[in-house]
A and B are shown apart, each in its own frame.
Chain A
Amino acid sequence: AQSVTQPDIHITVSEGASLELRCNYSYGATPYLFWYVQSPGQGLQLLLKYFSGDTLVQGIKGFEAEFKRSQSSFNLRKPSVHWSDAAEYFCAVGASSNTGKLIFGQGTTLQVKP
């Protein structure tokens, strides 16, 4: 069965420090992978996505993610975190090739220290 695991429930980093949020997936074929961000009281916004090709993908707000098939991972990174990045982050895998259904990880809450 398809699944997504985000091992870190809560992460705290200092402003200006680098960030890496982990995501591991279980999926039989080549996955469609997504990272979404949810600011407090808001819906989810797409940060970036991977379908095929270059395994390092760039997204909005200075985020990037790297697909590693051998490790079944799709970790999200940012070189320098800003206070406004404090939010909840969700990794998701496309559950179907044609319906757009998503399977989400449990989410990682990012706290940014001044």
Chain B
Amino acid sequence: DVKVTQSSRYLVKRTGEKVFLECVQDMDHENMFWYRQDPGLGLRLIYFSYDVKMKEKGDIPEGYSVSREKKERFSLILESASTNQTSMYLCASSSMGGRAEAFFGQGTRLTVV
């Protein structure tokens, strides 16, 4: 069974803090993704990575950065958290190819106060 594990289910952070969201997958997938989920907007891609140390911006990268030092781990970084980054964050992984199924973690609900 593919497992994508996000380190926290719930996080509360203060405005201006640097925030790290961690994601680990156990299926040796090449691709990893960070999505943000907001009501009425569906899921929007923040960043994705197709190999170690490789990354590409998604549709809403502003205010975020990512790190992928090992194949199984993909971190999302909020450099200076703001209240408009309060959201549900979902990590996903997939093998190479556009037909590959994406497997999702359970999500991290981040609240910035």
Contacts and interface: CB of A to CB of B under 8 A. Distances in A.
Category for how many chain A residues contact B: 20 to 34
B90 A44 contact: yes
Interface stretch (A11-19, A69-77, A78-86, A92-100): A92-100
Contact of A90 (B40, B42, B48, B97): B42
Category for how many chain B residues contact A: 20 to 34
A56 interface: no
Given A43-B4, A43-B106, A49-B101, A99 B42 contact: no
A106 interface: yes
3 closest residue pairs by CB, A with B: A43-B104, A100-B94, A104-B42
Interface of A: 4, 6, 9, 32, 34, 36, 41-46, 49, 51, 90, 92, 94, 96-107
